Amino acid sequence: MTRLQRIRGPLLVNLALALIVLIWTVPIIGLLVSSFRDRLSIQTTGWWTIFPHRAYVASEQLDPRAEGLVVDEENRVIEIFGTRTTFDELRQGIEAGGRRVQWVGNWRIGKVEVQERQWVTNWKFSLDNYRQVLSGKEFVYTRADGTQETIPGDNMWSAIFNSIAVAVPSTIIPILIAAFAAYGFAWMKFPGRRPLFILVVALLVVPLQIALVPLLQFYRGLQLNGTYLAIWLAHTGFGLPLATYLLFNYISTLPREMLESAFIDGASHFTIFMKMILPLSVPALASFAIFQFLWVWNDYLCALIFLGGNKDMMVVTMRLANIVGDRGQDWHLLTAGAFVTMVLPLAVFFGLQRYFVRGMMAGSVKG
């Protein structure tokens, strides 16, 4: 194999990976840029217009009647820069005399706007979208014509705190229970261990949707509906099978000699679990924590069912859904709200990513 062939293979792989990363990153960049743009800019231009580009810019305005441009008042025919056109066509904009001309306003008092192609950028950035999304106060929006509109704030801060109150316990509780269960399946001998583990693995294929109605009826009998405890228990139950399986694969690969030495020294199962298993299982614990936290944070269905329509307990997904439902045309708010909800999950992922690959590879190599 020549040197060129050895270099070409990795180079093609790296280029393909770079292209995939770019494709996945472009929408995030667009979302971030749009979140800082005002409502008018988002509705009229794309986010990519922040980069230098050629566009038509108004250079002057002409009074069509004072300039004698209207040649047929009845049929609304206009001749401008040697080009004969109709009012409807001019409203859309036409090319005439090497420039673009467009009628602005109605037929009686409108003007003809002459536009020239120039290099421009659209750098109108502000924090108004974030102020409106995060605060619960009323926000005054000033339109281009000077009129003002009072819009209520969306108070995403309360939704963020509610999501944290749901996601953190719903991540910690199943990790603790699954770690104990995985240790028991891996290192303790008891009757029915194998059938129980097979049952746990089988629960991975059970769709959570089929359990929602029975759980809701069960919670109603216990008066748990609309409480944090209800959704904590639900996410714990849905997350336990995967957590147990993932942690079992990791804990079962730990050196047997190390545990046998601890047993000889008189350590109990609980001491071994707390002093040895948990510290050594940090990669697997962190790997599952990423999965579980992202799942709970982005969950909408369970939150809607078990927390109900209580506005004081809305999580970020429910708040975003309300923004879409109430003001679906306000893309400037949706972009800001969506990016706010991304910050904490990204921080969790990047904070634990060094353990992610090791945790995912748990149990893949034996011997």
Full DSSP string of 87-150: HHHHHH-EEETTEEEEEES-TTT-EEEEEEEEEE----B-SHHHHHHH--SEEEEE-TTS-EEE
- Confirm whether 238 is domain-assigned: yes
- Confirm whether 47 is domain-assigned: no
Cβ neighbours around 105 below 10 Å, total: 12
Which of 67, 92, 107 lies closest to 79 in space, CA to CA?
67
Same domain as 60, residue 27: no
Residue-wise pLDDT for 163-217, tens only, equals 999 999 999 999 989 998 888 888 888 888 888 888 888 888 888 788 888 888 8
Same domain as 57, residue 192: no
3-state helix, strand, coil in the chain (%, to 5): 60, 15, 25
Same domain as 262, residue 182: yes
Same domain as 292, residue 244: yes
Q: How confident is residue 356, by pLDDT bands cut at 50, 70 and 90?
A: low
CB-based contacts of 279, cutoff 8 Å, min separation 6: none
Same domain as 68, residue 4: no
> Residue 282 sits in a domain of what CATH number?
1.10.3720.10
In this prediction, residue 41 carries a pLDDT of 80
- Confirm whether 133 is domain-assigned: no
- Confirm whether 148 is domain-assigned: no
- Confirm whether 132 is domain-assigned: no
Domain boundary among the residues 120, 141, 167 is at 120
Q: Could you tell me the residue range of the domain that residue 228 belongs to?
A: 156-360
Same domain as 171, residue 60: no
Same domain as 31, residue 63: no
Same domain as 300, residue 265: yes
Residue-wise pLDDT for 273-331, tens only, equals 888 888 888 888 888 888 889 889 988 888 888 887 677 788 888 888 887 765 556 67
Residue-wise pLDDT for 205-257, tens only, equals 888 788 888 888 888 888 888 888 988 998 888 888 888 888 888 888 888 78
User: For residues 145 and 112, which has the higher predicted lDDT (pLDDT)?
Assistant: 112
Same domain as 4, residue 115: no
Same domain as 166, residue 108: no
Domain boundary among the residues 97, 120, 143 is at 120
- Confirm whether 151 is domain-assigned: no
Domain boundary among the residues 120, 145, 172 is at 120
Contacts 24+ apart (CB under 8 A), 250-254: 250/182, 250/281, 250/283, 250/284, 250/359, 250/362, 250/363, 251/179, 251/182, 251/183, 251/186, 251/187, 251/277, 251/281, 251/284, 252/185, 252/186, 252/187, 252/363, 253/362, 253/363, 253/365, 253/366, 254/280
CA gap 278, 25 in Å, rounded: 36
- Confirm whether 298 is domain-assigned: yes
CA gap 169, 179 in Å, rounded: 15
Residue-wise pLDDT for 52-87, tens only, equals 888 778 878 888 777 777 777 777 888 877 778 888
Same domain as 210, residue 174: yes
Copy the structure tokens of residue 250. Answer: 């990791």
Provide the number of structural domains found in the chain: 3
Q: Which residue's entry shows tokens 């603790």?
A: 176
- Confirm whether 131 is domain-assigned: no
pTM above 0.95, yes or no: no
Same domain as 30, residue 56: no
